[in-house]
Structure 1
Amino acid sequence: MSDAARLLRLLSLLQTPREWPGSELAARLEVTPRTVRRDVDRLRDLGYPVEASMGALGGYRLGAGAAMPPLLLDDEEAVAIAVGLRTAARQPVAGIAEASLRALAKLQQVLPPRLARRVASLTSATAPAAPSDASLVDPGQLTVVAGAVAARERVRFAYVANENVVSKRHVEPVQLVALGRRWYLLAFDVERDDWRIFRLDRVSSALATGARFAPRVPPGGDATEFVTRKMYDSAPTFRASATLRLPVELARARLADFAGDLTALDDGSCSWHSVEDTIDYLAFRLTLLGCDFAVHGPDELVEHLRGLGERISRSVGEAQPPGGPALTPSTG
């Protein structure tokens, strides 16, 4: 093994989050402990923050430095990160899509052809999620809250409630929950002496106070289950039944993970029984399909779509071009 290859191999080992005794590194690299010490010094000269601890349980580890060092990935790690970046690009966090795509472009540029083919196969076999209609979460707020959850540290922030009323909150954050198309925070509100659920896209000016709190057990013992139950309790949910004027495979691709039960009726249409969701979102997904459809139920969805259609018709009818009369929908 050349010196350069050995140095890269040492760096790859040190990027595993553990302490590496010098004797174990020497055995892995098939060199003497003295050579290991010399190679560690060379990595430090290149800017890698290699830390060393003494004693029977001591060894070498790669610490956090002032800049992000190049990462060495094995085949499975490279594929996992590439697929993960594609998924992250569709999440409702402001700026995450652009950052994910930049990172993915850098990774794809250096992927060996055999790995690039694997990534392409995985992504082509996976139907993309539909664009999210959720408000974007500020990544800075998300980072502050996530750090406070991990450190069990109280947080103060401004919060916009459903009625657009802004209030100041002082909470003990217990867990972040990604549910459907939104991020939620389950926390114990100190001033209200009760559990509360906050939408992260409505949080601003989040500040960790430095005050620690004792661990709290979420109601029922499971934060995700509690948030899910509360969200569904607060908004009635339904299952749509409709005929879609789309080939069944095209409908399945456009609906992705919201497909529910699809059955082909003929080459150009299919029946759809949706998964459970709110009336607003069922209507949104139907109109997003870009095809004609006939809704058979529930009645609440039919009425919602009828009202939506009337509002759109009025909006089009009232639109006026500059210097011209009001536009009216064409009936030809």
Structure 2
Amino acid sequence: MTTTTATTSRLLALLSLLQTRRDWPGPILAERLDITHRTVRRDVERLREMGYSIRALRGPAGGYRLDAGTELPPLLFDDDQAVALALALQSAASSGADIDEAAVRALATVRQVMPPRLRHRLDSLDVTVLPGRPSARPSGDPSSTAEQVSPGLLVDLSTAVRAREVLRLDYASTGEQDRDRDDTRRESRDLRPPRRIEPHHVVTSHGRWYLVAWDLDADGWRIFRTDRITLRTPNGPRFTPREVPGGEVRSFVSAQFKGARRADVWPCLGTAVLDLPAAAVLPFVGDGSVEALGHDRCRITVGSWSWVALAASLGRFGAVVTGVEPPELVDAFSLLAVRYAEAATASR
């Protein structure tokens, strides 16, 4: 890295820190940036020359404050900030909110003021957003919280999708990420041959990130959780893209999450009457529907990937349940009643 590049990167890092809190003591800035206090003072002067209003604070150690409400020069972004902004704007543009056009224009505006290197990273990102509210977590996904995924990994995956290059990767099974802290287990996994896939779409759904791909070894379509992916280098050869089943990636992924084999519909769909107001039930039905039957009763129509799961989801409301249809859902309630009674008896 040249001296000029290093100085520019350091100025960006300093500016980013100054924007995150009101006051910064000089010694803490020096420690965070791994530079001397003298270099901090010199970098602050450089930022002032660029038009940023930075006030010096009095005190035993001294400090700095980036003034709010002043007219700042064009925004500067480091790599991670540029990728994060592009991801946020792409997600907003596909979220279904009434900001689609504004998000697209904002992304185009930001792209124009980026240097060529960062502009190339932004152009590599192509994310498909699954809209709508989740009625339950995706089938087969034990995580109930959003995972942490490196922006760099998302860029690498999107770049491979655009370049139509086969990816070589390791894919951790459930819980294997924690076991990888054991060096012996990690080394054992590293000896396995990498999986070979044709990446087709990077997808985000309710805070989770996935890669839709054709698995060359399994000879079939797969949806990979990105937080379990470790890429190997180099990438493989180029490939001719296959068509996602049904021709539309959102419908395909949504159907897979619902446990449906083909159409984007729940394999098990049922109705029931709950002794609750419709307003109390509506926020929790996801893609289901609620019909008011008076002040304190409503009919709910919801789906799931199994009848037992559907019966259990209706039980979470803690209300009297009547008018259950179809017979398969009635049988699922009977099965759960027996199992719950056995569990209560065994626990006493």
TM-score using structure 2 length? 0.47
Between 1 and 2, higher relative CO (CA 8 Å, sep ≥ 6) is seen in 2
